[in-house]
């Protein structure tokens, strides 16, 4: 199963040449930017997006904060599991990198010697994007959009076939969604326990007491609230 795409008449290879051909026509500085974005930048952006979503959920202090934070905790775990699942898949398929099988590609990243199917970058970013969608749809849509951009970058850089990326998207989505019910069943009670402890500020900053219009300050969030009160008094 080493060659899923051996011929230039294969649509997978044709699309590879079409997308990677854009790199040949682009300025050198643009290619260097795409190299950084595709290799490191979008992964960093996904991490920042998860942290932003966590901060938003924590500040909002909704009744479902514990379940939302549980989904956010599951997000990187899902990405890690998906990468581990990919290890035997790569070993079974044994698909060489496209630049080893096809001439004339503009390869922006050197030193890629492992197998091509499926793309780890596509797998990780889509698992995070789908995990974010479980926690918050608005952030999830942004995460999925970044994952799609990551997939495009991997083909543009000449290090993956389009089907490598599609396979990564499928693997990341499957792990994040199929294992989500079990993960949420385990993590949500844990986050609720944290919410009621001295570490509660990591889950929710404050919550209103029913019928009082006043905030109940959680132990872990008390310092934040006191700091804001001092700033208002000043």
pLDDT tens digits for range 148-172: 999 999 999 999 999 999 999 999 9
* Alpha carbon 91 to its chain's center: 23
- Go through the chain and tell me how many residues it has: 234
State the span(s) of the chain assigned CATH 1.20.144. Answer: 11-195
Q: Is the pLDDT of residue 117 over 90?
A: yes
Give the whole-number percent of the chain exceeding pLDDT 70: 77
Is residue 93 within 8 Å of 4, Cβ to Cβ?
yes
Q: Which residues contact 232 (CB under 8 A, 6 or more apart)?
A: none
Does the CA dihedral 102-13-148-180 come out positive or negative?
negative
Euclidean distance between CA atoms 222 and 212, whole angstroms: 19
Euclidean distance between CA atoms 61 and 57, whole angstroms: 6
Has domain 11-195 been given CATH number 1.20.140? no
E strands within the chain?
206-208, 215-217
Residue 32 confidence (pLDDT): 92
Euclidean distance between CA atoms 102 and 196, whole angstroms: 58
Q: Is the pLDDT of residue 211 over 60?
A: no
Q: Is the pLDDT of residue 62 over 60?
A: no
Q: Is the peptide bond before 199 cis (omega within 30 degrees of 0)?
A: no
How confident is residue 199, by pLDDT bands cut at 50, 70 and 90? low
Q: Is the pLDDT of residue 214 over 60?
A: no
Q: Enter the pTM of the model.
A: 0.80
| 234: its two tokens | 């000043």
Residue 196 confidence (pLDDT): 66
Is residue 125 within 8 Å of 172, Cβ to Cβ?
yes
Residue 140 confidence (pLDDT): 94
Higher pLDDT, 43 or 189: 43
Q: Is the pLDDT of residue 3 over 50?
A: no
Residue 95 confidence (pLDDT): 92
Is residue 200 within 8 Å of 194, Cβ to Cβ?
yes
Residue 58 confidence (pLDDT): 73
3-state secondary structure of 206: strand
Is residue 220 within 8 Å of 200, Cβ to Cβ?
yes
């Amino acid at each position: 199963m080493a060659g899923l795409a051996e011929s230039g008449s294969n649509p997978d290879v044709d699309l590879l040449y079409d997308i990677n051909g854009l790199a040949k026509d682009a300025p050198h500085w643009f290619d260097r930017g795409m190299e950084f974005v595709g290799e490191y930048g979008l992964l960093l952006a996904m991490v920042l997006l998860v942290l932003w979503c966590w901060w938003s959920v924590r500040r909002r202090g909704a009744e479902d904060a514990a379940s939302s934070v549980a989904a956010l905790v599951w997000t990187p775990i899902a990405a890690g599991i998906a990468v581990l699942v990919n290890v035997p898949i790569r070993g079974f398929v044994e698909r060489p990198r496209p630049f080893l099988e096809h001439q004339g590609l503009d390869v922006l990243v050197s030193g890629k010697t492992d197998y091509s199917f499926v793309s780890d970058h596509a797998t990780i970013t889509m698992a995070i994007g789908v995990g974010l969608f479980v926690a918050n749809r608005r952030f999830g849509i942004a995460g999925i959009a970044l994952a799609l951009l990551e997939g495009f970058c991997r083909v543009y850089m000449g290090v993956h076939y389009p089907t490598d990326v599609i396979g990564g998207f499928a693997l990341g989505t499957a792990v994040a969604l199929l294992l989500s019910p079990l993960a949420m069943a385990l993590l949500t009670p844990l986050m609720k326990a944290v919410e009621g402890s001295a570490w509660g500020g990591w889950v929710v900053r404050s919550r209103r007491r029913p019928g009082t219009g006043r905030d109940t300050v959680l132990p872990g969030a008390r310092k934040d609230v006191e700091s804001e009160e001092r700033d208002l008094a000043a």
